[in-house]
Every structure is written in C-alpha cells, then in structure tokens.
Chain A
Amino acid sequence: MSVSASKKRRALISGLAFLTPNIICVGLFTIFPVFFSIGMAFTNWDLTQHNMFKDVPLRFVGFDNFVELFRNLYFWQYLGNTLFLMIGIPFAMAGSLGAALLLNQNARSILRRGGLLLLATVGLTGACLLLVTLGMAASATVILVVSVAVAVLMTGTVGGSMVYRTLFYMPHFTAGVATFLLWKKMYDPLTGPINQALNPVLSGLEPMVLAAPDRTFSWLAIALVLVIGWLAMSWIGKMRGECADGDLGPAAFVLCVLLLLAPLLFLGFRAMPRYLWFPLSVGAVLITLFHAGRFLWSERMRARGPWEGAGGALLLTGGLLTLSLILFGLSLVSHHLPAMAAEGLDPPRWLVAYHWAKPALMIMAFWGAIGSNNMLLYLAALSNVPQDLMEAADIDGAGAIQKFWYVTWPQLAPTTFFILTMSVIIGLQGGFEMARAMTEGGPAGATTTLSYYIYSEGFETGRLGYASAVAWIMFIMVFSITIVNWKFGSRYVND
C-alpha cells in the first residue's frame, strides 16, 4: 500500500519535472495571457489615455467594448472581408485534390520507346502556342519560358511524380513576406507581368464584344442564373431523397438551407440587377419554404436524430454554393460586359482597385494552396483507399468518373471534412500577413481582415481593451467551428 503510494508520488514528481520547462513557457505566454486578455476585453485600456504623460484611471467598462464592436460598421466590413476571402477555400481544396489525384497516378519513367522525344516536341509546340496566343510574342521570353517548360517535363519524365510533387509544394513552402512582395510586383497595374500579358488579350476581345448583337450578353446572364436555379432544384431533389431515406435530420437540413440561401440572396441583393434578382429570390424562398415544411412535418423526419448526416450534406451544399457563386459571378460579368467594352476593356488594377484587391489576394492564396499540406494529406488518404474496392468497381464496369464519385470521394470524406474545418479555422484568423505586406489593408479597407483589425487597434491605435474584445469574438467563432469539427468529424469518420 505505502509502496504503491510512494511510487505514485515519485511518478508525479518526475512527470512534472519533465514537464517543467514546457509548463513555465506555456504558463507565462499562453495560460496567463489568456486570462489577462479576458480581463482586458472588459476594460477601457487605451494607450493614448493611459501612458506616462496622461494617467486616466483604468476602469472596468463591462460589455461596452463588445457593444461598441457590434455597432461599429468597420467591424462588420472587416468580418465580411474575412468571410469573402474564405470563398477561396473550396477552390483551393479542389485544386489540392486534383493535384493529389494526378500525382497518385504515379507518373513513372517512360524513357523507353522514344517517349521523351515525343513529349518534348508536344510540350514545346503546346507551350509556344499558349504563349503566342497570350500575346507574349517577345521572342526571347518565349524561348526561355518554353525551354524551362521542357526542362520541367524532362526532369519529370525521368524522375516521376516525385519531381512534380516538389514543384507543386514549392509555393507553399516558400510562402511568406518574400513571396507576397513578389506577387505585389507582379500585380503592378503598369509594370507587372500579369497585366502585360492581359493587355493584348483584352484588346483582342474588345471588338468581338462590341460586334455581338444587342442583348446577347443579357440573355447569357439570364441563362446562367437559370443554371443556378436548375442546380438548386437538383440539390433539393437530392436532399429530399436523403430525408426520405432517413439519412438527413431536420436540423442539418435547415442548416444547409441557410448556408445555401443566405449568401446567394445577400449577394444578389447587393450586386444583381433587380430584374434578375427579384423573381429568382422570391422563387427560391417559396420553393425552399414549401419543401422545408414538407420535410419537417413529415412522420419520417421526427423519428430521426436532428443532426443526422450533417457532414455530408454540408459538404454537398458547400460545393453547390461554390459552383453557384462562380455562375453568379459569370452572369454579373456578362451583364456588364457590353457597357464595359464600350468604355474600353482595361485589365484590372488589382491591388489598388477596391473590387479587385480581394480577388487578387485569393488568386495568390490559391497559387500557394494547391500544393500545400492539404495536397499531401489527400495523397496519404488516396494511398489508403482499399484496392479491392477499386477492383470491385472495375469488375462492375465503372468508368473513371464513376469510380471517383462512388469509391474514392466517399473514402476521402473524413479527410475532406478535416481539411475544410481546419481551413475555415485558419481562414478566420488569416489574411494579416498578405494584407500588411501587399496592401496595408487597403484600398479603403477592402483587404482588412479581422486579424489585421486586431493588429491595427492593438498595436497601432493602442486601444488594447477594444482589440482584445475583437480577439475574443474571433475566438468564439473559431471555437464554434472546432465544436462542429468534434461533433460531426468523429461521427462522419465512423460512417
């Protein structure tokens, strides 16, 4: 008895001793600051009021900081910016998945049978054509870029997918202020290579748009909106099927509806011409209400757990939302295209234009995200897809797309869910570095995210109390995503 007690005590002492260096650091720079920060969020601590020259007494102000925050229009704008930048997440995930699928094919050395020669020729011609059509006919550039392309192709042919994986991963691994500054120079409206490549393309496009018959582009806009409608209808059909099978609970269903409808209706209200937006939104709301009512009050639904199948349904809805947003954007562009062409099509001014700064950052983030850790996670998951499932699908005569959709994709679901929630968590806290290095939050706050807001309030303006309050609001958002991850992630993995 006493032996085991003393043994236990000895274990406790040595266990804590090994933990000491870590605990000192975590305690001083994580645990203590957390409580300190909670306290700060409820004070009026402001470095312009409390410094060595001016000592206004520090006092507790209760929830004043939070009230001010919710009334502050800037907060909402910056929250909107943060969420807007997160639209890039599904694209980045699709890119990573695509890259992983390609790499997983295990491109092996095909030096035999003159493959190299053939590949080099094809690559050379293809790249030449691409560059010439892009208008970069300046011969030295073309020759150089093409020769690099061929070099890539040749090393890849010899070295297999390993070489490509390294090249894919490079943008992510070098990401930092250095690459942000590189992109800032590339986005320069006059001297940057992006606009220098876009200029000839756009001046070629201009007469074509102007020559098109009247209303062509309005009809195109309407057609695209109709495609969104069709997508939404098939989504409802799918949801309905899942509800009928008992795979989807009412709460999960409502969440999906909100996720799909709210952004579309809001964006439509803000940006769409009224003749498109009004009938569409009224129709969508009516149809959804009708179906929602039927689902929620049917006998079958009440027997189910409310959150049944939320993970899969949310992924599906997210994908649909992304697709709808693309179509939505295209529809807007084609609506405005004739007017724009009449004034002359100029390439965007990227970082210095209010409406282009965020897309510019998203394009850059996409470049870095394709070959990121997410691609490696997908690669690992792909190598874990059971081979016998694939063989069974082969025997059933499934094509490549069917095999992907019915075998690979469901097997990847836990990974996808994990990557999605982690990306959302990182996205909520992100955007500071690129905004600070490339735009300083501008133009007119277009690229100021929540993290940038905390930085500027906490370290530039010196309103420590208010900045802490913003930080805690951010924590609450991150925390709720984490809860979702725990709750549905584990359930989804078990399926």
Chain B
Amino acid sequence: MGQTTTQPLKKSYVLNLVLALMSMMLVLPFIWMVLTSVKHITEVGDASWVPGAAGWQWSNYLDVFQAIPFDLYMWNSVLVASWVTLLVLVTSSMAAYSFTRIDWPGRDKVFFLYLATMMLPGLVTMIPNFQIMIHLRLVDTLTGLVIPAASTAFGTFLLRQFMLSIPRSYDESASMDGASHWSIYCDIILPLARPGLITLGIFTFISNYHSFFWPLVMLRTQEKYTLPIGLLHFETAAGESTHLLMAAVTMSILPAIVVFLLFQKFLIKGIQLGGVKG
C-alpha cells in the first residue's frame, strides 16, 4: 500500500519536469520574438537574447505604427474575419437545420454532395473564382474576400453533428403546436446549438484572421491589406529592422492567443467532435 502512494508522487515529479521542458522548447521562439521586439536597433542580431546596454525599447511598438499602418491592417483583418464568421454561422446553421429537421426527398443525397465538396482541394476552385471576381468587379475589395468564404461545407457538417445530438422531442412538440420551421429554428434549435455555433465561430474567425492565399491574390492597394499581407510586405521592405517586424508579429498573434485562452473549452470539444481542420 505504501508503494501506491509514493509511486504516483515520484512519477508526478518526473512527468511535470518532462512536460515543462517540452513546453519550454515549444515556447522558446515566442520568448525570442518578444525579447527581440524590445531590443534597440544596434543590438538586433546579437547573440544575447536580452536587450543590453541600450535598455528595453518598448517604444518599438509605437514605431511600428509609424512604419506601417498597422491599425488599418488589423481593422481590415478583423472586419473581414467578423463578416465571414457572421455569414458562415447563418448559412451553415440554416443548412444544418434543413439537413437535420426537415425531411425533404433527396436530402441525404444532397448532403453527401456537400460532404464531397469538402475533399476538393481549394486550389482547384481558386483560379476560376478569381476570374469570377474579375467579372463581378470585386478584385481588390474586402467584399471580395468575404463573399467566397461565406459558406463552408465543414461548417454545415459540424453544425449538423451538433444538431443531431439535440433530441427531436423538443421541436416535435413545438411543431404539434403549429410552430413554423422558421420559429423552431430561431427559438429552439439555435439557442440549443449555442456551443456548436461558438465553436464554429471561433474556428472560422481564426482561420480567416490567418487567411493568406486568397487575400494575397486579391489585394493590390496598401489600404486594403489584411494583417498577413501587410506583414509579408513589411518584411520584404523592412530589411534590417527585425525588431520592428517582431513587434508587429507579436501584436498580430496576440488576438489569436487571447481568443484561444477565452474559448479553449469550446475549441477542444469542437475538434474532437468534427475531426480535424481549423
């Protein structure tokens, strides 16, 4: 009996140590990033990670706003990601409602078709989509970033999984009372599917916040740049000012970290429910 009490404790020390070392290795790049972002320009590239005689230059963060319109990039990114998230939530939840709560003929075949589009490489549709954007005169607009992303098969799939787990008895009694599909959708299903909606919302927001390929193709003028595109051009132009770049990088990943810390629980549940992606 004595063994069973000491064994886990000893194991726990080792385990904690191993886990801490591993997380340390994974976090090291971020530490270097933050430290470099507060170095004086003359000390960038020194072997010492910590700012030296010139002191900690917190003003680098203000200098970023002088060098590039960082606030504008951030605003564009957040604006696009928010719109996409809103639209995806509406289109996916309505489609998922149709696929789980209304028994229309041919429903399952159509759903299968939806699933099939999930395995289509995005690159196949990118080239024609760009031609469509040219014809709709949406190249170099933020609208052109939002519209093609406004519905995803993945979102429909994820919310369908969530809605299948809501017992049908809830809405059947409502439909006995003569409630329309629209009011069942708004008043019963949406509130019950809230965890699913939050999960999908976070996924969509973050992946669009990081989105790179499509904005890179679409955006031409600096005022329209989203953060990833702005950072890319800043890196090319900045040359030796690594400290400013690191300050910009730090500020750009901060929102992602905050969102993650706030919504961790939903995200992890969503990943385990819906497979991969995100």
A12-B246 in contact (CB<8A): no
A110-B12 in contact (CB<8A): yes
Q: Does B62 contact A (CB under 8 A)?
A: no
Residues of A contacting B31 in the complex (Cβ-Cβ under 8 angstroms): 145, 148
Residues of B contacting A171 in the complex (Cβ-Cβ under 8 angstroms): 26, 29
A18-B120 in contact (CB<8A): no
Other-chain contact of A21, B9, B91, B102, B253 (Cβ < 8 Å): B91
11 contacts between A and B (CB under 8 A): A11-B105, A15-B98, A26-B117, A29-B125, A33-B132, A123-B17, A126-B21, A166-B261, A171-B29, A173-B260, A177-B212
Measured CA separation A62–B230 after assembly (Å): 41
Residues of B contacting A28 in the complex (Cβ-Cβ under 8 angstroms): 132
Measured CA separation A432–B212 after assembly (Å): 10
Measured CA separation A38–B151 after assembly (Å): 22
Measured CA separation A157–B16 after assembly (Å): 7
B50-A140 in contact (CB<8A): yes
Measured CA separation A141–B228 after assembly (Å): 30
Interface string of B182-193 (1 = CB under 8 A from A): 000100000000
Other-chain contact of A471, B35, B124, B227 (Cβ < 8 Å): B124
Interface size on A, residues (CB 8 A): 112
Known contacts A170-B257, A183-B29: does B102 contact A467 (CB below 8 Å)? no
Measured CA separation A190–B13 after assembly (Å): 39
Q: Does B272 contact A (CB under 8 A)?
A: yes
The 3 closest A-B pairs by CB, nearest first: A191-B45, A15-B104, A176-B210
Measured CA separation A320–B154 after assembly (Å): 34
Measured CA separation A243–B233 after assembly (Å): 58
Residues of A contacting B67 in the complex (Cβ-Cβ under 8 angstroms): none
Query: Apart from A138-B49, A166-B260, A170-B260, what 14 extra A-B contacts exist at CB < 8 Å?
Result: A11-B104, A14-B102, A33-B129, A110-B9, A141-B48, A148-B27, A164-B23, A173-B206, A174-B256, A178-B249, A182-B246, A367-B29, A436-B216, A459-B130
107-154 of chain B: CB within 8 A of chain A: 107, 110, 114, 117, 119-132, 147-148, 150-151, 153
B272-A179 in contact (CB<8A): no
Binding site for B on A (CB under 8 A): 8, 11-12, 14-16, 18-19, 21-23, 25-26, 28-34, 36-37, 40, 99, 102-103, 105, 107-108, 110, 113, 115, 118-119, 122-123, 126-127, 136, 138, 140-141, 144-145, 148-149, 152-153, 156-157, 161, 163-164, 166-171, 173-179, 181-186, 188, 190-191, 193, 196, 367, 370-371, 373-374, 376-377, 379-380, 418-419, 422, 425-426, 428-429, 432-433, 436-437, 451, 454-455, 458-459, 464, 467-468, 471-472, 474-475, 478-479, 482
Residues of B contacting A157 in the complex (Cβ-Cβ under 8 angstroms): 16
B20-A153 in contact (CB<8A): yes
10-37 of chain B: CB within 8 A of chain A: 11-13, 15-24, 26-33, 35-36
Binding site for A on B (CB under 8 A): 9, 11-13, 15-24, 26-33, 35-36, 44-45, 47-50, 52, 90-92, 94-95, 97-98, 102-105, 107, 110, 114, 117, 119-132, 147-148, 150-151, 153, 156, 181, 185, 206, 209-210, 212-213, 216-217, 227-229, 231-232, 235, 242, 245-246, 249, 252-253, 256-257, 260-261, 264, 268, 271-272, 275-278
Q: How far is the CB of A84 from chain B (nearest CB, A)?
A: 19
Of all chain A residues, the one with the shortest Cβ separation from B235 is A181
